[in-house]
Each structure stands twice: as structure tokens, then as C-alpha cells.
Amino acid sequence: MADTNVNGGTRQATGKLKSVESLDQTNEMERGLSNRHVQFIAIGGTIGTGLFLGSGKSLALTGPSIVFVYILVGVIMFFLMRAIGEMMYRDPSQHTFINFITRYLGNGWGHFAGWTYWAALVLLGMTEITAVSTYFITFFATSASASLVSVNLIAVKVFGEVEFWFSMIKITLICAMIATAVVMIVIGYHYPAVQIHGVDHVSPAGHAGFDNLFANFSFAPNGWMAFLMSFQMVFFAYEMIEFVGVTVSKAVNEIIVRVLIFYVGALVAIMCIVPWTSFKPNEDGSFASPFIMVFQYAGLNWASALVFFVVITAASSALNSLLYSAGRHLYQLSEVSPNPTLNKLGKVSDRKVPARAILVSAALILLSPIVNAIPGVSGAFVLFSSASSAVFLFIYILTLMAHRKYRRSADFIPDGFVMPAWKVLNTVAIVFFVFIYLTLFLADDTRNSAIAGLVWLVGFGVFSMLRERYRSRDLNAALEHKERLDGLIGWRLLVGWLL
């Protein structure tokens, strides 16, 4: 005995998938990622530019307690991944978790979530280019982005191979930095005052040791307001981690381990070398990369160039994944759109990639340098990141609500990749994401983005719901008219036969 899902695939009564092919018969795009690609994309997906660029400001805000913030946010993101993983296990034919919002919350919220998530991906792509342009010339950042567009247009296997090596580079640098810190601590390394690249003042002399972690320790050294603000910064570092959730269940379960190794391990290693009190903003409000500080304190001045290279790699990796995801989201939105113009984007190229959708998404992302060039526009990185954080939070909350509906639906399979204690953990995650959104109102440079997010939620949300309501009304009216017409034709045939 087997049950049939909405895509025509079948599962046996045990809840186990009979065949992926049966769920994938209508898919025009190529599934060309190998297990090696999937595993390293999953690992690299947890490491973005936030760790390399944004951790300096986070450390300055809260000191060593930032470790607890990274762990807490990581645990909540793990709950989200388990919810996505459970639904993806139920229907692995889906290329995006957004479709579950449509299935379990209705077409109105599905329309809102689909277009909102695509817009968020574009905003996040603009953020990555802005971040890289801070350290490199805009022309180079734009040229690198154009190259990634070509990678996504060639074939999915090429995307997977490029992303594999991007992940390898990021992981290698983090491991090298942690190893360098361990050696410095073991030998009791002392360093003189140094002029760090990217810092407009001389950094003080010091030593490597665990005592740097606890010197002048305070859970909220700059006040509780600064501590609360650190949550939104850490959340931004975790954005797009849901890309891992659509790979394999094992990758989801290993997220906590990766968080401990790559985020917490790196932060602890940094603070053992550089006292958290040494992280001071420049006159323009920017912070130097903590990775560069560690290597320069170790006397490895040449490593600064290596860190710059890895920052470009991390941003390129994020952009590569963003283009991959944004192109496929726009492709699926175009396929179901009643607009003939948008329908043209729902085409797959001869190489079995959504080329038109990728090109449109890339063109919008590459507008970032133009936005930055507008006189009077400042804090572009904060503006884009907080705006994208706002809309990402809406999507995450809707996803968790869809998961709640799934658990109560006939689709639920008890022996699948089940999220334990789902009622408690799902609720905790929703409340936490609402809390993150509220922290956006605490700072002047993120308050406008939080307000804009609410305006988008109300405006576009109401539009999406009304759109679905009128479409349903028109569809029902058309069906009733057809039934009346069929009935009239039937009576005429009957009368004609009798006569």
C-alpha cells in the first residue's frame, strides 16, 4: 500500500521513500551535485563573511559573552533546520522549503513568502558586494560577481565544484588561525604594539593566553542594550544557513558541531590572542578583521593578504549560493505566475539551468555599487543587512508555522526525520525570531529597516491575501458558471432527444 503526495510521488506505508525519481518526473532542471559537493556545501554554508568581517564589532559590543550569543542563535537555527529537514524528508522532490508554506498555509502566504524570500536573497547579495567593496575596489567585486553568474549558467556540476573549493579555502583558514592561536598560547607568546592593516590607530602590545578571555569579564560590559543588539549581528552571520537544510538530514544534525568548531572555536582563539578590549572602532565606525589581527600579532604580516583573499572567497561563496538559490526561486515563481512576461523567466536553458531567472537576479544584485555611489548614502552595509534580516525573519517564522500545520496534517509520517519535542522547540524558535526582530528597533541605523520590514509585511502581505481571495472568488464563479452551462446543455440535449 502506498500514499501519493501532491507531486505524484509515492511512499510505502512505512513512510519510506519508494523512489526519488517518482517525485521528480516533472523536474526540468539537472540534479548534478555529487555527495562530495553536498557535504562541503553544507559545511561551507555555515561560514559567511559575517565571521570574517562582522565579528570584530560583535566582540567590541559584548566581549567574551558573544560566545554564548553565537551558541544560542546557533541552537535556534538548528531547530529551524530540523523543521525544514522533516518536511524535506517527507517530500525530497522540492527544490525550496518555501513551497511548504504554500502547501500548509495557503496560496496567499505562499505568494508573500516566495516573492519576499527572493527579494531577501537579492538584498543579501547586495550586502555581500557592499562588504567586499569595503576592502577591495568596486570594479573587482563587480567583475568577480559577473564571473559567478557565468558559473551558475554553465551547469549545476560546475556550481558544485566551485562551491566545494570555496568551502575548502574557508575551512582551511579557520583551522590555520585556530592552530596558530594554540601554538601562541602554548609557548606563551608576547607581541609588541603593532599597526594593524585596516586600523587607524596603533594596537597595544600583549600576550597570548586564556587569561585574556576572563580579564575584566562582564556579561554585558557595554550595557544590556549593546548585548541585545549583538543578537541581530550574530543572526545576520547565520543567514542562508537554511541552504543546508535542503541537502541531507545528516548535514542538519551536524550543524551544532560546525557552529562549535568554526564559530565558537574561532572566536575563543581570537580572544585568547587579542583581548576583547582591544577591539576599537575606526573613525568611520568600521572594525578591522580579527583574523588579520591574530596573524599580524603572530608576526605573519603576509597572512593579511591571505585573509583578504579568503574574505573574497567567503563573499564569492555566499554570492554563488545566492545566485543559485535566487535563480531557482524566481524560476519557480515565474512558472506559476499568470503574468505572460514573468512566464518567460520560467524557462530552462539547454544546459538545464534557469538561465533567464539567474540573469535577472544577478542584474539586480549588481546594482549595489550604484546604490553605494549615490551621494549622501552612508552605512549601506548596515542598511542592506538589517533589511534582509527583517524579511528573512518573516520567512523563518512562516516556515515554522507551516511545520506546525504539517505535523497536524495527514502528510505527517511518524517514522520520518522527526523533530523531537516539536511543540516546545517550534514555539521557542518562533518567539526567538520575534525577539530578534524587536532588537532591530534598538539602534538608529537598523530602526528604519525594521519599520520598512513591517510596512512590507502589512502592505505586501495584505496584497497577497486579497489577491488570493479574489482569484479564488473568480475561480469559484467560473466553476459555477461552467456547472450551470453544462446543466443547460444537458437539458437541451435531453429535450432534443425527447422531441
**Number of separate helices (H) and strands (E) present in the chain:** 23, 4
**Residuewise pLDDT in 10s, the chain (499 residues):** 334 343 434 444 444 445 444 444 555 555 556 666 666 666 666 677 777 777 888 888 888 898 999 889 989 988 998 898 888 888 877 767 888 999 999 888 998 999 999 988 888 777 777 666 655 555 555 666 677 777 777 777 787 788 888 888 888 888 888 998 999 999 988 888 887 777 777 788 888 888 888 877 788 888 888 888 888 888 877 877 776 665 555 567 776 777 777 888 889 999 999 888 888 887 777 777 888 888 888 888 777 778 878 877 877 787 788 888 888 888 888 877 777 777 777 777 677 777 788 888 888 887 776 766 665 554 555 556 566 778 889 999 999 999 999 999 988 888 878 888 999 999 999 999 999 999 988 877 778 888 888 888 899 888 888 888 877 665 555 555 555 555 555 555 555 555 5
Give which of 14, 43, 26, 17 is closest to 247, Cα–Cα: 43
Nearest one of 12, 46, 89 to 266, comparing CA atoms? 46
- Three-state DSSP class for residue 335: helix
Please report the DSSP string for 371-405 in residue order.
Answer: HHHSTT---HHHHHHHHHHHHHHHHHHHHHHHHHH
User: Residue 7's pLDDT is what?
Assistant: 42
Contact indicator for 122, 361 with CB cutoff of 8 Å: yes
CA Rg value for the chain: 25
Cβ contacts of residue 12 below 8 Å, gap of 6+? 1, 2, 18
Query: How far apart (Å, rounded) are the C-alpha atoms in residues 273 and 271?
Result: 5
Locate 428 and state its grid cell. 521557542
Which residues is 201 bridged to in the sheet? Answer: none
What is the enclosing helix (H) or strand (E) of 29? none
Q: What does the angle CA 127 – CA 132 – CA 134 come to, to the nearest 5 degrees?
A: 100
- Residue 106, CA distances (Å) to 99, 109, 242, 438, 455 in order: 10, 6, 21, 27, 21
CB 160 within 8 A of CB 41: yes
| Cell numbers that stand for 239 in this block | 543567514
Please tell me the pTM assigned to this model: 0.82
Cα–Cα nearest to 172, from 306, 272, 356, 25: 306
